[in-house]
């Protein structure tokens, strides 16, 4: 098991890769994150809200061993940072630009989702009522992003769009999103689909039931043309966990399967699902309890049961860690990227763990 620093800078705050996404083409891997400033008095997250957060992306061409980092080559309303409004004062957020009358261009249509170098990235302004979603596309492995393009509100009061999608064909793609339900009602995971090459996006289905708990940040994996698994980050009161749902009809309906991570620690942490080359399903997530750690679980039976936790590392300085995304290299090595810290008041940085899953039994 090897831990690699993707990007780290003294006094700065790098965070939340799960909000932006990861994409891979063999040993070429790209991951997104956001970049701001540390403030130990910043609350649950030790960030400075009076300074801007800007989107960044890191690229590795050697399977995650070394990385090059740049500003994300994507336009945004008012040239503001995106998917990080909750970490800045309102005056700095991209939501302020949208409130001022900026109109996001409509979806372009004509998207070829199966282009060999294709990538899609979702983005948002805010997390609460009024959260506005949009997306970008790339045909050159994230070297240039086209957009922003508006996503619908799907008759919701807000949509917190983070990057998770499944491509089914040249003209069909399913997005997994989170709907805001209003004051005191939390949020709920759902999926949307385009079948006309990204000209329109339609609401498809709710993933989790309309319960008192929140279900957010869905992470999907396709098992067949009709079968999909989705893991969701859940919270009720002070309890935080990850639930797994399945669909047998390509996302039209969903059923509860199990709870692969019964506790993700104070504040919770999102999941990511990866189908390994040997057919196993890999769940990775951050644990914000003690010891502050990055963990993985494997399933031999498409999520029906799960093996014990694999601790990737347990040396986090405090709870402010996680939000992973995971890919597997052609040689079988798994690359899990996340944000991390060594001490509570220190910088937050992007790290990757390169690890080999234990033999299948």
Q: For residue range 229-263, what is the model confidence (pLDDT) as tens digits?
A: 999 999 998 899 999 999 999 999 999 999 999 99
Q: How open is the CA angle 64-65-69, to the nearest 5 degrees?
A: 70
Q: For residue range 195-231, what is the model confidence (pLDDT) as tens digits?
A: 999 999 999 999 998 877 899 999 999 999 999 999 9
What is the number of domains present in the chain? 1
360 occurs within a structural domain: no
136 occurs within a structural domain: yes
Q: For residue range 290-317, what is the model confidence (pLDDT) as tens digits?
A: 999 999 999 999 999 999 999 999 999 9
Average pLDDT over all residues of the chain: 96
Report residue 341: phi and psi, to 5°: -145, 155
d(CA 164, CA 121): 8
Please give the average per-residue pLDDT across 169-189, as a whole number.
Answer: 89
304 occurs within a structural domain: yes
102 occurs within a structural domain: yes
Q: Is pLDDT at 343 greater than 70 in this prediction?
A: yes
119 occurs within a structural domain: yes
What percentage of the chain carries pLDDT values higher than 90?
95
The residue assigned the tokens 């997994």 is 176
192 occurs within a structural domain: yes
Q: For residue range 92-134, what is the model confidence (pLDDT) as tens digits?
A: 999 999 999 999 999 999 999 999 999 999 999 999 899 999 9
33 occurs within a structural domain: yes
Please give the average per-residue pLDDT across 47-63, as a whole number.
Answer: 98
Q: How would residue 185 be classed by pLDDT, with cut points 50, 70 and 90?
A: low
DSSP letters, 15-75, are E-GGGT-EEEETTEEEEEEEEEEB-TTSSSS-B-TTS--EEEEEEESSTTSS-EEEE----
Q: Is pLDDT at 184 greater than 60 in this prediction?
A: no
Residue 6 is predicted with a pLDDT of 98
Q: Which domain holds residue 153?
A: 2-355
Give the residue from 271, 258, 361, 351 showing the smallest Cα distance to 69.
351
361 occurs within a structural domain: no
Q: How would residue 32 be classed by pLDDT, with cut points 50, 70 and 90?
A: very high
> Would strands 310-313 and 322-328 be described as parallel, antiparallel, or unpaired?
unpaired
Q: How would residue 183 be classed by pLDDT, with cut points 50, 70 and 90?
A: low
CATH number at residue 244: 2.120.10.10
d(CA 225, CA 168): 8
């Amino acid at each position: 098991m090897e831990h690699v620093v993707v990007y780290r800078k003294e006094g700065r705050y790098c965070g939340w890769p799960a909000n932006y996404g990861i994409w891979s083409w063999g040993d070429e891997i790209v991951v997104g994150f956001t970049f701001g400033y540390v403030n130990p008095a910043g609350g649950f997250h030790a960030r400075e809200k009076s300074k801007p957060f800007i989107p960044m992306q890191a690229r590795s061409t050697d399977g995650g061993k070394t990385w090059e980092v740049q500003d994300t080559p994507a336009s945004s309303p008012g040239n503001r940072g995106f998917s990080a409004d909750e970490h800045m004062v309102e005056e700095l957020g991209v939501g302020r630009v949208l409130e001022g009358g900026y109109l996001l261009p409509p979806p372009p249509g004509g998207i070829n989702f199966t282009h060999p170098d294709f990538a899609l990235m979702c983005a948002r302004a805010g997390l609460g009522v009024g959260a506005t979603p949009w997306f970008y596309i790339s045909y050159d492995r994230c070297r240039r992003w086209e957009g922003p393009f508006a996503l619908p509100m799907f008759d919701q009061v807000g949509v917190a769009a983070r990057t998770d999608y499944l491509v089914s064909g040249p003209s069909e793609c399913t997005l997994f999103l989170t709907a805001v339900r209003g004051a005191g009602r939390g949020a709920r995971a759902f999926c949307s689909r385009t079948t006309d090459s990204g000209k329109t996006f339609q609401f498809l289905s709710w993933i989790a039931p309309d319960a008192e708990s929140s279900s957010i940040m869905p992470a999907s994996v396709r098992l067949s043309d009709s079968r999909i698994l989705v893991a969701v980050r859940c919270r009720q009161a002070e309890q935080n966990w990850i639930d797994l749902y399945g669909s047998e009809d390509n996302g039209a309906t969903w059923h509860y399967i199990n709870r692969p991570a019964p506790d993700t620690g104070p504040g919770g942490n999102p999941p990511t699902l990866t189908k390994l080359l040997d057919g196993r399903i890999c769940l990775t997530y951050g644990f914000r309890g003690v010891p502050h750690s990055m963990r993985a679980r494997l399933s031999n039976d498409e999520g029906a049961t799960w093996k014990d936790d694999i601790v990737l590392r347990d040396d986090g300085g405090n709870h402010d860690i996680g939000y992973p995304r995971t890919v597997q290299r052609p040689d079988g090595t798994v690359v899990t990227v996340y944000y991390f810290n060594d001490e509570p008041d220190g910088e937050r940085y992007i790290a990757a763990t390169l690890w080999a899953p234990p033999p299948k039994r």
